[in-house]
Amino acid sequence: MSRTRAIIFISFCFLFLFSETGTSQEEKETSSSDTRKAILWTGEVLSVYRNKGKAKIKIGRNSYFSERSEEEIRGILSEKSNLPLFRKPKMEEIGSFQIENIEVEFGKVGKLTKPVSIELRGSFSVAEGKPAKLISVGLLIGAYGEETFYQDPSKFDATDIVRNHLVKTILHPKDGKEMVLVHTGYESNGRILYEHMGYFLYGQGSDPGDDSYNPKFGTPDRSSLEEISSFYIDKYEVTNKEYNKFLKETGTPPPPHWENGNFPRGKEYHPVTNLTYREAEAYSKWAGKKIPSEWQWEKAARGTGLIWRLLKDESYEFISQPQDYPFGNEFDSALCNTRESGSRGTISVFELPSKGQSPYGAIGMCGNVAEWTSSAYIPYPGHRPNSGRYGKHLKVIRGGSYSGTKEEAKAYARDFGGIPNLLNDRKAGLRLITEVKN
């Protein structure tokens, strides 16, 4: 009997040990598959000399160092004095940067003085097997942290959803206009994916002779994409009635084409047009809003132009999905008030079909009246056009108009105003934005 008990006891011990070992291994595998090292922040190498140099970390809204005090920043960097050194675009780690000096630079953020950048001085070293010539300006330094990670890209898409607590529409307290949210990331089946990354593909890549040509359009990657934070944009263009209210409250002279100082009868809800940039600027200040940049305007009109996902090797794949018009790639004269529609004039913003709205719900971003943006009319990065008039004294105009063609109304098409100057060139109407405050 004692021998039987001994055999049972030994068998039980083996089973227990096997069970414990299996559980432990499973936990390890789960842990390793669900988390990974992630780069928390990066800074750019600005100069290199004899294996020494400096790098700068810009502190933007929602960045790792935003809202931190100088003491906190110094404490964090002192703990991580030996930083990895990365080479773009795949963020390949090629060496390290040893911090020797930290300088926190301050600037005005609204009415407050806050840290805006960090300058680091130190020495470089390359990883074993890497040539010293890899150390150059343009490399990145950074720091690692832990974040949840899923190996399967399709699962990652389904779980990496930041539920956006921002409402999709608001009424602005000053002018009472309805505004729609243009969020970061992209929307799929009603869900916002990669909401923390505001990548945006601008322009077009088929006609190098056009001012909208983006040389990187066909091969988008992190280095060639714009990052745009969430903002709200007017759902409709500013109307004659709304602009007239501004004139009365501020005592601003009306546009010279308004007979006897009054907008055309029966056109109170038509978009105001033939404004100079300075008039649009004055209206935006009165309303407590901003004139959008051309890329903010373009994103609001056509969407991100791409989708992206994380691959198994931890790199991001970007897939182009641009569209020419707010409503798609095929022009429809019923959805866009251009020369092809035959209207020969502006249309009330409330009579424009909702079917022609942009991916974010903005209406009238194709035709009707052109709209001012705050961006200087200059070639896109990497584009060297043979001819054309460019300059920072000119401002980009977007959207086309009732008198223009369908080509001029494409979401990426660019026009400009400012000749002879921005005070006198009556060229466009407007819609405004308000940036999201965190």
pLDDT tens digits along 282-325: 999 999 999 999 999 999 999 999 888 778 777 788 888 899 99
175 and 144 within one domain: no
The span from the CA of 95 to the CA of 37, in Å, is: 17
Residue 159: the pLDDT is 38
Residue 18: the pLDDT is 39
366 and 336 within one domain: yes
Backbone torsions φ then ψ of 254, nearest 5 degrees:
-75, 165
192 and 121 within one domain: no
The span from the CA of 14 to the CA of 16, in Å, is: 5
Residue 10: the pLDDT is 46
Residue 420: the pLDDT is 95
The span from the CA of 14 to the CA of 25, in Å, is: 16
In the chain, which stretches have pLDDT less than 50?
A: 1, 4, 6-36, 147-164
- Mean pLDDT, the chain, as a whole number? 84
For 382, counting Cβ atoms within 10 Å of its Cβ (0-12 exposed, 13-18 middle, 19+ buried), the class is exposed
Q: What is the CATH number of the domain that holds 276?
A: 3.90.1580.10
Q: What is the CATH number of the domain that holds 120?
A: 2.40.30
420 and 310 within one domain: yes
- C-alpha distance from residue 230 to each of 65, 201, 274, 277, 357 (Å): 19, 15, 29, 24, 19
343 and 226 within one domain: yes
31 occurs within a structural domain: no
What global pTM score does this model have? 0.64
> Among 79, 114, 148, where does a domain finish?
148
161 occurs within a structural domain: no
Residue 156: the pLDDT is 35
Q: Which residues contact 135 (CB under 8 A, 6 or more apart)?
A: 48, 51, 53, 85, 95, 124, 126
> Among 115, 148, 181, where does a domain finish?
148
Hunting for tokens 């359009």 — which residue is that? 217
396 occurs within a structural domain: yes
32 occurs within a structural domain: no
10 occurs within a structural domain: no
371 and 337 within one domain: yes
Residue 146: the pLDDT is 62
310 and 206 within one domain: yes
282 and 240 within one domain: yes
What's the domain count of the chain? 2
252 occurs within a structural domain: yes
β-sheet bridge partners, residue 105: 117
Residue 158: the pLDDT is 37
Residue 150: the pLDDT is 35
Tokens encoding 188: 């799929």
How confident is the model over 194-233, as pLDDT tens digits?
777 888 999 999 999 999 999 999 888 888 888 899 999 9
213 and 333 within one domain: yes
Omega prior to 89 cis, within 30 of 0: yes
279 and 142 within one domain: no
- C-alpha distance from residue 22 to each of 8, 15, 241, 253, 370 (Å): 21, 10, 73, 81, 67
The span from the CA of 334 to the CA of 326, in Å, is: 13
29 occurs within a structural domain: no
β-sheet bridge partners, residue 43: 141
Residue 438: the pLDDT is 52
> Among 87, 115, 148, where does a domain finish?
148
The domain of 186 spans: 169-435
Residue 228: the pLDDT is 92
289 and 430 within one domain: yes
Residue 151: the pLDDT is 35
Question: Is the Cβ–Cβ distance between 308 and 314 less than 8 Å?
Answer: no
Query: Which of 218, 233, 379, 216 is closest to 301 using CA atoms?
Result: 233
14 occurs within a structural domain: no
Query: Which of 309, 336, 305 is closest to 406 using CA atoms?
Result: 336
176 and 144 within one domain: no
> What torsion, rounded to 10 degrees, do the Cα atoms 181, 42, 223, 185 define?
-20
